[in-house]
Structure 1
Amino acid sequence: MAGRWELTEEQWLLVEPVLRPASAGVRRGRPWHDTRAVLNGVLWVLGTGAQWRELPEKYPPYQTCHRRFQQWIRDGKLVEALRLLARLLHEQGKLNLEEAFVDATFASAKKGASPSARPRRGKGTKIVAIAADNSLPLAVTVESASPAECHLVEDALAASFLDELPARLIGDKAYDSDGLDRKLAEDYGIEMIAPNRRNRSKTQDGRPLRRYRKRWKVERLFAWMHNFRRLVNRWEYHIENYLGMAQLACLHMMLRYL
C-alpha cells in the first residue's frame, strides 16, 4: 500500500516514460536506484517539509534523491511530465479553458535566497499560479515578491502546461490594469476580468464581473499547494529548485484526477 505522498502503480505508469533514465539499461558502475523509489523520496520531502537528510531509510539515500531531483529540473523532465498530464486531462474534459483564475501567494525565504525581495512581510518569493475551473493548475511560476502581480501574468502564461490558453482570465484588484487588459487582448486574445481598485475609474461592467465570484477556485489551489509543507516557506537557495518543488506539487495534484 502506497504511503500518503507515494504514487500508486497506476499513477507511476503515467509518468514513468518521462522520468525513466534513458541510459538506465547501459549504465556502468553502481546500479541506479529505482526511479519510482527516488520520486517517492522527493515527494516525502515535498509533503513533510523535512530536511533532505531526514529522509527515511525506506527510500534511496537523500543525496541520490536530491541529485536526481535536480537532474529532472535541468533536463526539463518535470515540465514534460506536467504537459503530458495536462494533455490527458484536457482530452478527458477535466481542464476547461473557457475561464481560468490567476493569483499569487507569498512564501518567506529562509536562507537568504535569490532572487527574492523584502516586502512588508519580510524577505520572500511569490508563487504565481493559474487555476482551471476545477482548481487544477494550468500554470505555475516562481517570481521575486517585489514586482506588482499585474506584471507577472505573462510569465505565468508562458509557463502554461497546455499550448491552448484560456479565453478569460479572472483575478483580484491587483490585476486591474489598462496595460494588462490591452496586452492580453491584443497578444493572446484573452479577456482579463478584475474588479477596479478604489482609486480607479470604472472599466468593468457588472456582467463579466459575475465570474469574479468564483475566484475562490484559485484560492483552493493554493490551499492544496500548502498541504505540501515544503512550499509554505522557501528553504531552497536556488530559485529553480523551489520552482521544481512547486511543479512537483502540481504533478501530484493532477495525478489524483486521472
Structure 2
Amino acid sequence: MTQPRPYPSDLSDARWALVEPVLTAWRTHRRAGALDIGRPPEHDLRTVLNAILYVNRTGIPWRYLPHEYPPWQTVYAYFRDWQKDGVFEQLTSLLRRHVRVAAGRDPDPSACVIDAQSVKTSANVPATSQGYDAGKKIAGRKRSIITDTLGLLLAVLVTAAGISDSAAGLPLLTQVAATQPALAKAWADSAYRTTVIEGAAALGIDVEVVTRDPATKGFTPLPRRWVAERTLGWLMLRRRLTRDYEALPTRSEAMIHIAMIDLMARRLTGENTPTWRGT
C-alpha cells in the first residue's frame, strides 16, 4: 500500500530523532506505573506528535484532524497527558540547550528578556479565565514569556488579559530562577515596575528596564527587548496561536511550548518552517 504523503508540519526523521527518546521514556514510565499493563499501545508516538503539530500549525479544531492521523480523542488524550506530565517543558529545555551549544553559547543562560502579549480568545474559552487589557484594548488572555538572549523560551505563563505585567512577571521570574541558577540579568519594559525589580533582586537577578527614547520617531527596535518581541512574532506564525483557543490556560502554555519545540528542532536540523510566503 502506498504511504500517505506527509504534511509540511510532519516530523522529518532527523527531527523525530531529537524528541523520540523523551517520548519513549515517558511511555515506558507510564506503562511501568500502571496497575494493569494491558495490551501494547495501538498508536505510534511519532504519528501522535505529528497530529499535535498539525493542529498547532494549522489552527484546526481537534475534531477536524485528517483521517491519516489517529482518532482526535486519542491525540487530544496524549496532548493532555504530555501537558500534565511536563513533557513539553522537558522537550523545550532539552532542545534549547542543544540550540545554545550549537550557537557557541553555554547550555544554561545567564541573562534573559521578559515580555507579554495580549491576544483575543475564541468563543469556547471560559469567561472566568479571560480579562480586559485596557492598554492594548484587547479582551482575552495574556501570554507572559521569558526568553534567553537568542529568543528561546525559558518559561511562559498564560493569564487573563487584565492581569498586570508585574503581577505575572514576578511568579515567572521566580519559576525561572529555580531552574536556571546561572541567571543574573533580565531586561524588561517599563510595565515591570518596583515589585518585579525588588522581587527579582531578592532572587539574585538584576532587572534593567529598557525604555524608548522620546525623541525617536517611527519604529525602532529597542535594545535587548526586541529579542522577546521577535519570539512573540514567531508564535503568531502558528494559526492555533493567533487567538487563544484553549479552554484551560495550561493548555495554552502547552501550545506555546509545542511551537517552540518545532522551531528549535527545525533550527537544529537546518529545516525551514513552511509559510505562505512565496506560494
Question: TM-score scaled by structure 1?
Answer: 0.83
**1:145 is aligned to 2:161:** yes
Identity of counterpart residues, as a percentage?
Answer: 29
The CA distance in 1 between the partners of 2:73 and 2:40, in whole Å, is: 15
Report which stretch shifted further, 113-122 or 67-76: 113-122
Match of 1:12 among 8, 12, 16: 16
In the alignment, is the contact (CA less than 8 A) between 1:118 and 1:124 conserved in 2?
yes
Amino acid at match of 2:205: I
Q: Structure 1: state its 5+ residue gaps.
A: 199-210
Secondary structure of the residue that 2:117 maps to in structure 1? strand
Distance 1:118 1:178 in 2: 23
Which stretch has the larger CA shift, 157-166 or 119-128?
A: 157-166
* 1:196-246 deviation per Cα after TM superposition (whole angstroms, max 9, x unaligned): 699xxxxxxxxxxxx952321111101111111111111111222112111
Q: CA RMSD in A?
A: 2.7
Q: Is structure 2 residue 206 aligned with structure 1 residue 191? A: yes
Correspondences of 1:1-258 after superposition (within 5 Å): 3-20=7-24, 21-22=27-28, 27-29=37-39, 31-92=41-102, 93-94=104-105, 97-110=109-122, 111-113=124-126, 114-120=128-134, 121-160=137-176, 162-175=179-192, 177-185=193-201, 187-195=202-210, 212-258=222-268
Q: What secondary structure is seen at the aligned counterpart in 2 of 1:252?
A: helix
Contact 1:138 1:162 in 2 (8 A): no
1:74-103 alpha-carbon deviations (Å, 9 max, x no partner): 222112222222333344434673432110
Give the SS at the match of 1:174: coil
Cα shift at 1:143? 1.7
Q: Tell me the TM-score normalized by structure 2.
A: 0.77
Give the deviation of 1:165 after TM superposition. Answer: 4.8
Unaligned runs of 5+ in 2: 214-220, 269-279
- Quickly say closer, same or farther: Cα 1:24–1:96, change in 2 above 3 A: closer
Contact kept? 1:173, 1:197, Cα under 8 Å: no
